[in-house]
């Protein structure tokens, strides 16, 4: 009971999950299904969005000049496949064994590696590094800084780093909320469980989607999905401090013109 009450307190910013998430045997099944759902923005964007995004990348950063691509957090290889089809050589990294297994089985001519991208150690190897669907901003500040250093090192001279983030606009109409629900087997657990789902805003445009799980055996765990919201100034400052400069920015990863939007997509050049 003490653990439950402890987990119901407001956690410190970017406190980690108390249980496995990305590579949990049960959760990874639902995560893969969400990745592959063609018309749902869930673990991946919709197929139509990714098609348009890959077309934009090929126009803006053509494979004739940016042939070698590193896709960080590649999931089951949906972007990697689209970029391969447009003439790129792609390597994909993801920590999920299930997603990488799917990618290898379905796109065997692409190099996929099951690895935490924060452990990457490669130098001057890629023309373009991608992190798609706002993955960059789920990391705490120290790990974002570390990732930028890793990406900078992995890129060749004049390489590009493309990623998207959520903006404050994505959370503008949300208020703190808490609600209980019961699942007779669902996304988080195979057996029945209770869940307290919360949205908690923090200072400095940090946002938490939290799921406190009460399992049948009395176990209690918390899943923390963190989001750092960004505007252009904050993006520019973090990139500049890590040896990048913003080359261009868009409302989304399809290349829409910059405007009031829930997302911001940036192409940064290695200095």
75: domain CATH number is: 3.40.50.150
Residue 22 lies in a domain: no
- What is the domain count for the chain? 1
Asked whether the beta carbons of 147 and 244 are under 8 A apart, the reply is no
Residue 202 lies in a domain: no
pLDDT reported for residue 5:
87
Residue 11 lies in a domain: no
pLDDT reported for residue 2:
83
pLDDT reported for residue 77:
98
Residue 265 lies in a domain: yes
Low-confidence ranges of the chain (pLDDT < 50): none
- What are the structure tokens assigned to 135, written together? 């993955």
Residue 212 lies in a domain: no
Model's pTM, two decimal places?
A: 0.95
Residue 47 lies in a domain: yes
Asked whether the beta carbons of 196 and 179 are under 8 A apart, the reply is yes
pLDDT reported for residue 4:
87
Residue 163 lies in a domain: yes
- What are the structure tokens assigned to 257, written together? 């013109």
Residue 156 lies in a domain: yes
What is the residue range of 101's domain?
A: 27-168+230-270
């Amino acid at each position: 009971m003490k653990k439950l009450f402890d987990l119901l307190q407001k956690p410190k910013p970017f406190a980690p999950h108390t249980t496995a998430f990305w590579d949990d045997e049960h959760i990874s099944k639902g995560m893969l299904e969400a990745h592959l759902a063609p018309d749902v923005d869930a673990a991946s964007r919709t197929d139509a969005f990714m098609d348009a995004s890959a077309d934009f990348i090929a126009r803006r950063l053509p494979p004739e000049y940016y042939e070698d691509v590193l896709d960080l957090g590649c999931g089951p290889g949906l972007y990697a496949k689209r970029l391969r089809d447009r003439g790129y050589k792609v390597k994909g990294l993801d920590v999920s064994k299930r997603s990488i297994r799917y990618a290898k089985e379905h796109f065997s001519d692409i190099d996929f590696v099951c690895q935490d991208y924060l452990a990457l150690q490669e130098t001057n190897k890629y023309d373009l590094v991608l992190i798609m669907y706002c993955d960059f901003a789920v990391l705490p500040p120290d790990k974002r800084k570390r990732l930028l250093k890793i990406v900078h090192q992995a890129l060749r001279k004049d390489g590009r780093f493309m990623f998207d983030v959520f903006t404050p606009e994505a959370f503008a109409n949300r208020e703190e909320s808490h609600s209980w629900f019961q699942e007779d087997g669902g996304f988080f657990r195979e057996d029945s469980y209770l869940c307290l789902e919360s949205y908690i805003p923090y200072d400095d445009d940090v946002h938490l989607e939290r799921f406190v799980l009460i399992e049948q055996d009395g176990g209690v765990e918390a899943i923390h999905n963190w989001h750092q919201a960004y505007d252009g100034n904050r993006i520019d400052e973090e990139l500049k401090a890590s040896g990048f400069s913003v080359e261009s920015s868009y409302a989304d990863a399809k290349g829409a013109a910059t405007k009031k939007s829930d997302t911001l997509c940036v192409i940064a050049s290695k200095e």
